[in-house]
Chains A and B, each alone.
Chain A
Amino acid sequence: MRWQSDPLLHVEHLTMRFGGILAVNDLSFTAGRGDITALIGPNGAGKTTVFNCITGFYKPTQGRIAFARDGRADETDVAALTQTARRHARMASGDIYLLERMPDFEISGKAKVARTFQNIRLFQGMTVLENLIVAQHNPLMQASGWTVLGLLGVGPYRARERDAIEKAKFWLNKINLLERADDAAGDLPYGDQRRLEIARAMCMDPVLLCLDEPAAGLNPRETGDLNTLLCMLRDEQNTSLLLIEHDMNVVMQISDHVVVLDYGTKIADGAPAAIRSDPRVIAAYLGVADEDEAQAVAGERAGERT
């Protein structure tokens, strides 16, 4: 159980309110390093809200989100860091970040937590290659001497840009889009856009990648390809994945750990096999509202395609 023995993300007592709506209610879970952790639950359960809290797009009403970028975060170290006003510390047990204190761009840039979005957010008017280069903004910015040296044409920028192109080519190869590198991202078919968004996030060399419904709107063949890609990210790139997914087949096939949300509250947490037979999960997610849920999912996908 890596999420117990070697966790990299600790979500503790996370609560998020929007006015009267309690979107996430006292949620605690851990995600294991090198695991694919699935976050599942019916529509409106609060999954995307959890992502937005982890990646800094929302400031949680309450709770702590500790992230051990490398090494392991000792209970005592995290507690010590929480006492201070700081966001980040290099402790004996490794780099620890308190994500709820950090702005979104630092979570992605410094803590190396990347994400994709439920409704794809590519730079539509930029080419596929440009999308992947923009994802390498921070190292390139540094190489260009914060623009000054780059403007004068001196410094290592040229070489670093070539490296960035190589990395982009590597990822384009992985997602079979090398041929379309010079096309506008908005011109790609839907399935390719989904994979491109994942590749763009991977160009940041993330330690944890959060994927919000990556299989939504994909056909069965594309879903199969996606599974292969995600397993590759885990096994070859050593990236830990946090995955929101509706498709139970995908969840059961590739995830190592499943957290189930219902109305913002965690109702189950464990290995896929245990989740499948959990009566509360069946009642909330698979059983009672099965018919409605299936229709809602189908409707949502149809909406997203247009």
Chain B
Amino acid sequence: MPAGHDTATSPATQRLNNALREAGLAALISAGLSFPILALGAEPDINNQLALQTRWSWMFAAIIIIACARFFAVMLDGWRARTLAMAGLLCAAFGFGTWYFAGIAEPKIVGGTIVAGLIAMLAAFPIDTSESRASIAAKAPARPATILSSTATSLIATAGIGALIAFPLAMLWWFGSAGSLKWINNYGIQILIFVMLGWGLNIVVGLAGLLDLGYVAFYAVGAYAYALLATQFDLSFWICLPLAGIMAAFWGILLGFPVLRLRGDYLALVTLAFGEIIHLVLTNWSDLTNGEAGILSIPRVTFFGVPFTAGEGGFAHLFGLEFSPIHRTIFLFYLILALALITNFATLRLRRLPIGRAWEALREDEIACRSLGINTTNTKLTAFALGAMFGGFAGSFFAVRQGFINPNSFTFMESAWILAIVVLGGMGSQIGVALAAIVMVGGTEALRELDFLKQLFGQDFNPVQYRMLIFGLAMVVMMIWRPRGFVSTRTPSIFLKERKAVAADLVGEGYG
């Protein structure tokens, strides 16, 4: 340190000064940013003309929160202390906000949250000191050495699959046939569709390291292939499903060819464009796709030929049950569960085959691959084709579930959403992708449940509208906290003595 002996500032004081300066800087920047966004607003006045309104209090609230957050970030080292301080800050801000902005003067809530928040923020400091002392004491190599043994992994996997199989029946038993629909359909099926899409894209992005921003194209191809084959040729779902997968794989190869020479940003751009092209074709080729109106009355799924209808010959009649629409939903749940599990087992198997290792090697170093006799063109194409095929399966499931499709289900938002699931989960990790799908899709569904917030923010407040804002913030926080996703380490595909996880900083990200 350059400071001489005569300067009497202790490290603690220096740190405090530093933190205050940083907080001031953050306050300035946030003031500049929030002034046009938060402080100025246009709202219709009595004459229904837009008038400029100022909301200084919002701006000051934002500035104070950001400055405090920056202060804690500089002052605190350990992640436990930081999390505690941030949680305290949010808690106090929430309490203050309910009183000041929402006008709810419930002393217990307001006082309670503010006091609890302040206590948490203060408690963060002693916790930080002890935490950093402990971490200095235990300065052992921080790399994760071993991972779960294969028996433990298979035990957990079996338990998980068992729980998933029991899920719709448990819901049915718990909520009854009307109440369980939401849980099986909105949570169960919706999450599993995205788990499957995430796993499909994981082959391309996570394993082969090719950044694909247009994955929704294959989802769309699968859905339209199923819809057209089923409505035009009266083919059954079980015949359409593989055909739709093959069709999507074919389009995957078709996309693969032009992008093979591209790397990184260029690759991402072309895949993005491809997704848009498919979307435009579906919208404008009205003769085939019926344009914006979409394809209606796609044949519903049957139980291997037995329709889920009321009355004679229906599923309920055949099995001596009372008719209920939930039967079809439960069947759809098991169908997508089976498809997702097939995707998973196929991917796990592929990882241990030469092609899977070649994908990962390609992600690590393409030039080295070529020096080892690996045909990188074919390797990339198979990754695109297989990823697309699973997307196509998911697409035909989507079509049979909805009974109606139009191009609006296949926008770039969908691609971004699937890619976010893969990145958030940890590229290449199957379990991480599944977790991310649960958090992201389940999380947005759960926003619908937050009706009590209406009491805080007024009847107009609809938490679902804040989906993207919350999603964006969550992504930012995640990328700071765990830049490589939930499961950042890589599991080797083969081992001699012991399966050791590979630290995230060594694993390449590919993108070309």
Contacts and interface: CB of A to CB of B under 8 A. Distances in A.
Interface of A: 55-57, 104-106, 108-110, 114-115, 117, 121-127, 129-130, 133-135, 137-138, 140-141, 144, 147, 150-151, 153, 157, 161, 165, 169, 178, 181-184, 186-187, 200-201, 204
A104 B370 contact: yes
A124 B490 CA distance: 12
B367 A57 contact: yes
B212 interface: no
A125 B373 contact: no
Interface in B34-64: none
A130 B365 contact: no
19 contacts: A55-B371, A104-B370, A105-B372, A105-B376, A109-B375, A121-B371, A123-B361, A123-B365, A124-B364, A124-B507, A125-B364, A125-B508, A126-B357, A126-B502, A127-B495, A137-B357, A157-B353, A182-B497, A182-B500
A201 B361 CA distance: 14
Interface centre among A135, A161, A183, A184 (most CB of B within 10 A): A184
B370 A105 contact: yes
A199 to B, nearest CB: 12
Given A122-B368, A125-B508, A151-B346, A137 B374 contact: yes
Interface centre among A130, A138, A153 (most CB of B within 10 A): A130
A135 B371 CA distance: 9
Nearest to B386: A147
Given A123-B508, A125-B508, A187-B503, 17 more contacts: A56-B370, A105-B374, A105-B375, A108-B370, A117-B368, A126-B361, A129-B494, A135-B372, A137-B372, A140-B354, A141-B355, A144-B355, A147-B382, A150-B353, A153-B349, A200-B372, A204-B373
A130 B357 contact: yes
B506 A130 contact: no
A125 B502 contact: yes
Contacts of B503: 184, 187
Contacts of A115: 371
Given A129-B495, A182-B498, A151 B353 contact: yes
B128 interface: no
Contacts of B364: 123-126
B496 A121 contact: no
Given A122-B365, A137-B358, A144 B353 contact: yes
Contacts of A137: 354, 357-358, 372-374
Interface residues of B, number: 39
The 7 closest A-B CB pairs, nearest first, are A109-B373, A125-B507, A186-B506, A123-B364, A121-B368, A140-B354, A108-B373
Contacts of A56: 370
Contacts of B367: 57, 117, 121
Interface in B455-512: 490, 492-500, 502-503, 506-508
Contacts of B493: 130
Contacts of B370: 56-57, 104-105, 108
Contacts, number: 141
Interface of B: 346, 349-350, 353-355, 357-358, 360-361, 363-365, 367-376, 382, 490, 492-500, 502-503, 506-508
Contact of A108 (B346, B358, B372): B372
B354 A130 contact: no
A134 B358 contact: yes
Interface centre among A104, A134, A151 (most CB of B within 10 A): A134
B314 to A, nearest CB: 37
B506 A124 contact: yes
Contacts of A144: 353-355
Contact of B353 (A114, A147, A181): A147
Contacts of A140: 354
A135 B369 CA distance: 8
Contact of B354 (A106, A124, A141, A201): A141
Contacts of A106: 373
Given A105-B373, A204-B372, A124 B508 contact: yes
A104 B371 contact: yes
A157 B376 CA distance: 21
A157 B353 CA distance: 9
A121 B371 CA distance: 10
A184 B354 CA distance: 18
Contacts of B490: 125-126
A230 B496 CA distance: 26
A127 to B, nearest CB: 5
A181 B496 contact: yes
A129 B500 CA distance: 12
A57 B368 CA distance: 11
Contacts of B373: 105-106, 108-110, 137-138, 204
A126 B375 CA distance: 19
B506 A187 contact: yes
Contacts of A135: 372
A57 B350 CA distance: 29
Contacts of A184: 500, 502-503, 506
A75 B358 CA distance: 38
Contacts of A147: 350, 353-355, 382
Contact of A182 (B361, B363, B365, B499): B499
Nearest to B493: A130
Nearest to A150: B353
Contacts of B346: 151
Nearest to A56: B370
B492 A134 contact: no
Contacts of B357: 126, 130, 133-134, 137
A204 B497 CA distance: 24
Nearest to B358: A137
A145 to B, nearest CB: 10
A181 B369 CA distance: 20
Nearest to B498: A182
A104 B366 CA distance: 12
A220 to B, nearest CB: 28
A210 to B, nearest CB: 9
Nearest to A145: B353
A151 B376 CA distance: 20
A153 to B, nearest CB: 8
A127 B502 contact: yes
Contacts of B363: 125
Interface centre among B354, B365, B376 (most CB of A within 10 A): B354
B506 A127 contact: no
Contacts of B499: 182
Contacts of B374: 105, 109, 134, 137-138
Given A104-B370, A122-B368, A182 B508 contact: no
Contact of A114 (B355, B358, B371): B371
Contacts of B360: 123, 125-126, 130
Nearest to B345: A151
Contact of B492 (A57, A130, A204): A130
Contacts of A157: 353
A182 B490 CA distance: 12
A1 to B, nearest CB: 30
Contact of B497 (A122, A150, A181, A187): A181
Contacts of B368: 117, 121-123
